[in-house]
Amino acid sequence: SRNIAQIFFSEIDSSVGFLNEIKIIVSEAVTNAIIHGYDNDNMMDVYLNLAYDDEFIYIEVIDKGVGILDIEQAKIPMFTTKPDEDRSGLGFTIIDVFSEEMSIESSLGGGCKIKIIKKIPSVA
């Protein structure tokens, strides 16, 4: 998934660092979907929507998993629902740091949609 995003956004004239940040964002979001949404079942579908315009890239990562009970709590750095699995609880924090905007829509039993907007840096 992160390589798909890198290939999709490779047409944008930008730095390697920018593309690496995109890979990290997608990797964290997809990992969250598999580990938390699908309880580590990597055979379930995670949907990835990618788009861009002259100023921003747009990423949506969608799962049909268990959903998030408390979105605000899930966004707190170091919070994890899987402490017995050595999870750091930094997935949403990392996504938020590397993006201009992150929003999360979720309902119990209805899955989760993470929307991310990232500004395309100007190339001098």
**Of 87, 100, 101, 105, which is the active-site residue?**
87
Q: Which of 32, 55, 72, 105 is catalytic?
A: 32
Q: Which of 11, 21, 28, 60 is catalytic?
A: 28
> Residue 100 catalytic?
no
Per the annotation, the verdict on 2 as an active-site residue is no
How far is residue 34's CA from residue 37's CA, in Å, rounded to a whole number? 6
Catalytic residues: 28, 32, 87
